[in-house]
C-alpha cells in the first residue's frame, strides 16, 4: 500500500443551511479519532487546523434568493487556497465539514491541479439547485451545480474560473431526494446517477465497479475527488445529520464502497461533511465518518 501524506483541513461552517451545530462537525470527527485512525494505517498526518468562518445573519437576500452568500464565498475562497496549497505540495487533501456548501471551495482548490478531474458525489441529495430552483435559498443544496458552472457568478467563479468539473465527469451515488430543477439539470447534462433504486436492484458491488470503470476508462479522469455527505447513509446509522432521508445506503455497503475505491487507487482527495453533533447520539455519526475514512485509506476487516 502506498503511504500518503494526509493533510486535514477543518471547515466549521453552518451558514449553508438553517440547522445549527454542523459547524462542530470537524471537532467531532477529530474527537472520534480520525488522526490516530489514519496514522495506524501507516500514513503521515498533518492537521492544518480550521478555516476561520465569520458570523452571518442567516437571512436570504431578496435580490439573489441566496442565504449568507458573501460569508460562504469568502470562506470557500479561503478553503480553495488552502486545498490548492496542500495539493501543490503533493499531499492528500482531507477536508472535514461543516455543511456541504464547503465543496465549492474544495473543488475550486483541487481542480486546478488536474486536467480532467472526476467527482464521486456520495449523497442522498443531488445538491444541484440554483437560486432560481432552490425552495430555501440554502447554498448547501447548490455546490455541485456551482462546481460545473450553474448558479450565481459569485459561487461559480470561486478562485476566478469556471467550471471546476465537467458534468459528464460526475457520478452521484445514493440519491433519493432530488428536486424538480435538479432532475432537469441531470437530464440536460447527462449526469450519471446511481439512486437507491439502482443500488437496491444491482447491489453496491456492481454500482462501484461501474462508477470506477466509467471514471477511469470512459471518462479517462486523471484524478477523482470523493465528496461524502453523511446523509447519504441511512439515518439509522448516521442520526447526526441535518437533512436525514430514510431508505439510504447501509453501513456495510458504505464500507464496501470505500474499500473498492481504495483498491482501485482512484481517489486523490476527499471531504466528509454534514456531521452535526447536536443532532447526534453519542457521536455515532462522527464515528461512522472516521470508520469510512479508514476504509477509504486502506483499512481492512481482516
| Cell numbers 452568500: residue | 69
The yes-or-no answer on residue 125 being catalytic is yes
The yes-or-no answer on residue 229 being catalytic is yes
Q: Which of 50, 127, 280, 299 is catalytic?
A: 127
Q: Which of 99, 231, 234, 259 is catalytic?
A: 231
CA distance 52 to 239: 27
Q: Which of 15, 43, 100, 113 is catalytic?
A: 100
The yes-or-no answer on residue 61 being catalytic is no
Answer yes or no: are the C-beta atoms of 185 and 179 closer than 8 Å. Answer: no
Q: Which of 50, 74, 77, 123 is catalytic?
A: 123
List residues forming the annotated binding site for Mn(2+): 100, 123, 125, 127, 229, 231
The yes-or-no answer on residue 100 being catalytic is yes
Q: Which of 125, 150, 152, 255 is catalytic?
A: 125
The yes-or-no answer on residue 123 being catalytic is yes
The yes-or-no answer on residue 99 being catalytic is no
Q: Which of 23, 182, 229, 287 is catalytic?
A: 229
List residues forming the annotated binding site: 100, 123, 125, 127, 229, 231
The yes-or-no answer on residue 189 being catalytic is no
Residue 269 pairs with which residues in a beta bridge?
225
Q: From residue 283, how far is each of 26, 97, 117 by CA, in Å?
A: 12, 15, 33
Q: Which of 15, 113, 140, 255 is catalytic?
A: 140
Dihedral angle at the C-alpha atoms of 118, 181, 183, 189, nearest 10 degrees? Answer: -50
CA distance 284 to 302: 23
DSSP H or E segment with residue 180: helix 180-189
The yes-or-no answer on residue 274 being catalytic is yes
The three three-digit cell numbers of residue 4, written as one number: 500518503
Task: List, in order, residues 6 or more apart from 59 with CB less than 8 Å away.
Answer: 67, 68
Instruction: List, by residue number, the catalytic residues.
Output: 100, 123, 125, 127, 140, 229, 231, 274
Amino acid at each position: 500500500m502506498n503511504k500518503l501524506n494526509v493533510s486535514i483541513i477543518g471547515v466549521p461552517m453552518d451558514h449553508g443551511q438553517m440547522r445549527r451545530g454542523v459547524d462542530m462537525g470537524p471537532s467531532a470527527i477529530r474527537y472520534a479519532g480520525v488522526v490516530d485512525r489514519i496514522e495506524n494505517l501507516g500514513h503521515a498526518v498533518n492537521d492544518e487546523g480550521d478555516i476561520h468562518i465569520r458570523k452571518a445573519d442567516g437571512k436570504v437576500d431578496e435580490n439573489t434568493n441566496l442565504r449568507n452568500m458573501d460569508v460562504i464565498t469568502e470562506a470557500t475562497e479561503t478553503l480553495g487556497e488552502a486545498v490548492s496549497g496542500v495539493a501543490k505540495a503533493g499531499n492528500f487533501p482531507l477536508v472535514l465539514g461543516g455543511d456541504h456548501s464547503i465543496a465549492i471551495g474544495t473543488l475550486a482548490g483541487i481542480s486546478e491541479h488536474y486536467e480532467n478531474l472526476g467527482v464521486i458525489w456520495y449523497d442522498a441529495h443531488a445538491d444541484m439547485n440554483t437560486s432560481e430552483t432552490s425552495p430555501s435559498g440554502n447554498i448547501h443544496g447548490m455546490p455541485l451545480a456551482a462546481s460545473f458552472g450553474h448558479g450565481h457568478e459569485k459561487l461559480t467563479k470561486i478562485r476566478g474560473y469556471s467550471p471546476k468539473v465537467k458534468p459528464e465527469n460526475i457520478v452521484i451515488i445514493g440519491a433519493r431526494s432530488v428536486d424538480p430543477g435538479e432532475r432537469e439539470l441531470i437530464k440536460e447534462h447527462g449526469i450519471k446517477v446511481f439512486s437507491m433504486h439502482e443500488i437496491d436492484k444491482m447491489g453496491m458491488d456492481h454500482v462501484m465497479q461501474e462508477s470506477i470503470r466509467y471514471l477511469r476508462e470512459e471518462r479517462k479522469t486523471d484524478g477523482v475527488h470523493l465528496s461524502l455527505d453523511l446523509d447519504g447513509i441511512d439515518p439509522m446509522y448516521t442520526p447526526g445529520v441535518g437533512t436525514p432521508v430514510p431508505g439510504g445506503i447501509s453501513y456495510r455497503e458504505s464500507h464496501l464502497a470505500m474499500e473498492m475505491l481504495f483498491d482501485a487507487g482512484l481517489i486523490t482527495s476527499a471531504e466528509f461533511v454534514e456531521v452535526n453533533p447536536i443532532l447526534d447520539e453519542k457521536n455515532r455519526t462522527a464515528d461512522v465518518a472516521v470508520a469510512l475514512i479508514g476504509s477509504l485509506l486502506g483499512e481492512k476487516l481482516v
